[in-house]
């Protein structure tokens, strides 16, 4: 009997040992990282600007680093070389999302193309966005509407200058971006420059982005997420509901309108609903993603570009000269989307702005769907993956004089922002690259070129360019003809 007990004990110990080895075959080969504290792990190291804190840590622990955030293993990628191996060799394995708890509000994560894992439903939505929404043919067909909105921006700023009124560049850029999008999707404006509507929608978009990006104890400790201790999920439910109310009114009016088709994006989406290829809920939540991502990020990039140009007036002069040369000095016509390809310095300014100030410093977090070997280290299944594009934009091995704003570096470079180059991928890359990139590309260049062509901007608050606080961006003023007051820049 004792013999059989010994055999049983031996087999049990062997099974336990094999289970441990199979489950943790390379635990010792996790990427290096700071030693975690009990319970909280490395949360205390993130600070108020996690992308900067993590970039500093990567200087010590390397471009592939492990952080323990509560109970979540987080792998941080901070170099283009590591990102290249990740996306070229393992894009499928890293294509799922690490979903913040708050995004489950109103079942958004189940319906959103941005948050769904790679699955048949996600592939269907992705195909629709590529074929129905953002084709060159559809965007070309609606460029007249976008041109009209940009011309309205020019008239608004001119009116402010004539009256000596302050021009809030952030609000003006957001209103323009919102109307560019809404005319592409709905053939209508969602707001006006002289109304509170744009600020209300801007606040909604900002609050949604802020809540999704806010450190949330529910994400660090999933076992207690049902408690929603910080109220983040409740807050974002309110913001989602308010935004859906706006879209529901437009959809209801379109469905009850028997006059005819407007041949815009909303018509295309509703036709797919009639053909049972989409549900109305899919359409509603797709609009949340597109309008949140396409308005606040676009306006912030324009603000950053103008802020940098204010600090470097010689580069602003160079950009304006390029535009004048294209349009033949004194010509009254406005900038067209077709002019973008003929404005290499404007394109270089946009690239340099996105290098220094990417709208999403970590992109949207990924999730490993299996155990993966990456650059000789072990990335465990279900690990969260942060791709720190902010840090990559400051990699001294890639970017000489990386802290300086130097658009000229792109004039002789083939590096682009469309996801082909891992040194600069503000829209992401691979299967999860931003589907709205073709429209965003047109909007950014058109708005920036129009701002530069139509007005002469200058600092007018008594500060030299060197004294402007580029980190917080308070106290920056833009002026044209008449002195204007201080204008807030992006948070």
Residue 75 CA to residue 93 CA, distance in Å, equals 14
pLDDT of residue 97 exceeding 70: yes
More confident of the two residues 296 and 426: 426
Express as a percent the part of the chain with pLDDT over 70.
Answer: 85
pLDDT of residue 278 exceeding 80: yes
Residue 89 contacts residue 102 (beta carbons within 8 Å): no
The stretch 187-199 carries a mean pLDDT of 80
Residues 6+ apart with CB under 8 A from 45: 34, 53, 57, 67
Residue 373 CA to residue 64 CA, distance in Å, equals 12
More confident of the two residues 184 and 355: 355
321-379 pLDDT, tens digit per residue, is 999 899 875 556 788 899 999 999 999 999 999 999 998 899 999 999 999 999 999 99
More confident of the two residues 68 and 258: 68
Q: Could you tell me the two tokens for 131?
A: 């074929």
Residue 248 CA to residue 455 CA, distance in Å, equals 38
pLDDT of residue 262 exceeding 70: yes
366-367 and 96-97 strand pairing: antiparallel
Residue 266 contacts residue 251 (beta carbons within 8 Å): yes
Main-chain dihedrals φ then ψ at residue 69, nearest 5 degrees: -105, 95
The CA–CA distances, whole Å, from 80 to 2, 31, 275, 441 equal: 61, 16, 43, 22
Q: Could you tell me the two tokens for 45?
A: 């190291």
Q: Could you tell me the two tokens for 376?
A: 């000789």
Q: Could you tell me the two tokens for 113?
A: 């193309």
Point out the least confidently predicted range of 10-19, 203-212, 315-324, 479-488: 479-488
Residue 429 Rama label (left phi>0; alpha psi -120 to 50; beta): beta
Most confidently modeled range among 15-29, 169-183, 329-343, 418-432 = 418-432
pLDDT for the residue 424: 96
When pLDDT is cut at 50, 70 and 90, the band that residue 154 belongs to is confident
**Residue 373 gets which letter from DSSP?**
E
Question: What three-state secondary structure class fits 386?
Answer: strand
pLDDT for the residue 458: 59
pLDDT for the residue 12: 41
Residues 6+ apart with CB under 8 A from 375: 64, 82, 85
pLDDT for the residue 258: 60
pLDDT of residue 164 exceeding 80: no
Q: 161 labelled as ligand-binding? A: no
Residue 385 contacts residue 366 (beta carbons within 8 Å): yes
Question: What three-state secondary structure class fits 75?
Answer: strand
When pLDDT is cut at 50, 70 and 90, the band that residue 133 belongs to is confident
Reported residue count of the chain is 491
Residue 54 contacts residue 80 (beta carbons within 8 Å): no
pTM: 0.86
452-481 pLDDT, tens digit per residue, is 887 776 554 444 544 444 433 323 333 322
DSSP state string for 256-282: H--S----SHHHHHHHHHHTTSS-HHH
When pLDDT is cut at 50, 70 and 90, the band that residue 170 belongs to is confident
């Amino acid at each position: 009997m004792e013999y059989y007990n010994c055999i049983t004990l031996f087999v049990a110990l062997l099974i336990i040992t094999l289970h441990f080895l199979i489950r943790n075959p390379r635990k010792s080969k996790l990427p290096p990282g700071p030693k975690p504290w009990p319970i909280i792990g490395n949360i205390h190291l993130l600070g108020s600007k996690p992308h900067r804190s993590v970039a500093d840590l990567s200087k010590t622990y390397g471009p592939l680093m492990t952080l323990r955030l509560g109970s979540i293993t987080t792998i941080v990628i901070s170099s283009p070389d590591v990102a290249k191996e990740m996306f070229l060799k393992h894009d499928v394995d890293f294509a799922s999302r690490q979903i913040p708890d708050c995004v489950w509000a109103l079942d958004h994560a189940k319906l959103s193309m941005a948050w769904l894992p790679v699955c048949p439903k996600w592939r269907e939505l992705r195909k629709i966005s590529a074929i129905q929404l953002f084709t060159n043919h559809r965007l070309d067909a609606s460029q007249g509407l976008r041109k009209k909105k940009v011309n309205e921006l020019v008239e608004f700023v001119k009116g402010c200058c004539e009256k000596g009124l302050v021009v809030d560049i952030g609000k003006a850029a957001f209103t323009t971006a919102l109307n560019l999008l809404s005319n592409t999707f709905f053939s209508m404006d969602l707001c006006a420059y002289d109304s509170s509507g744009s600020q209300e929608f801007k606040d909604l978009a900002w609050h949604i982005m802020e809540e999704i990006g806010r450190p949330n104890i529910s994400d660090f400790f999933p076992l207690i997420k049902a408690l929603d201790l910080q109220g983040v999920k409740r807050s974002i439910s309110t913001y989602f509901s308010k935004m859906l109310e706006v879209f529901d009114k437009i959809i209801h009016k379109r469905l009850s309108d028997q006059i005819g088709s407007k041949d815009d994006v909303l018509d295309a989406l509703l036709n797919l609903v009639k053909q049972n290829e989409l549900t109305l809920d899919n359409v509603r939540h797709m609009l949340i993603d597109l309008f949140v991502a396409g308005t606040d990020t676009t306006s912030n990039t324009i603000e950053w570009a103008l802020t940098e140009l204010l600090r470097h007036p010689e580069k602003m002069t160079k950009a304006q000269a390029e535009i004048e040369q294209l349009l033949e000095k004194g010509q009254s016509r406005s900038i067209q989307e077709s002019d973008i390809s003929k404005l290499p310095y404007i394109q270089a300014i946009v690239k340099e702005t996105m290098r220094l100030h990417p709208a999403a410093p970590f992109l949207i977090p990924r999730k490993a769907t299996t155990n993966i070997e990456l650059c000789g280290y072990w990335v465990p299944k279900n690990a969260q993956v942060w791709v720190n594009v902010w840090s990559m934009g400051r990699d001294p091995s890639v970017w000489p004089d990386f802290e300086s704003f130097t658009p000229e570096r792109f004039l002789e470079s083939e590096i682009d922002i469309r996801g082909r180059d891992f040194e600069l991928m503000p829209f992401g890359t691979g299967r999860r690259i931003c589907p709205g990139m073709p429209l965003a590309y047109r909007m950014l260049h058109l708005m920036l070129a129009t701002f530069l062509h139509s007005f002469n901007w200058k600092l007018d608050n008594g500060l030299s360019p060197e004294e402007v606080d580029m980190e917080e961006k308070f106290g920056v003023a833009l002026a044209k003809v008449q002195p204007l007051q201080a204008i807030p820049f992006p948070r």
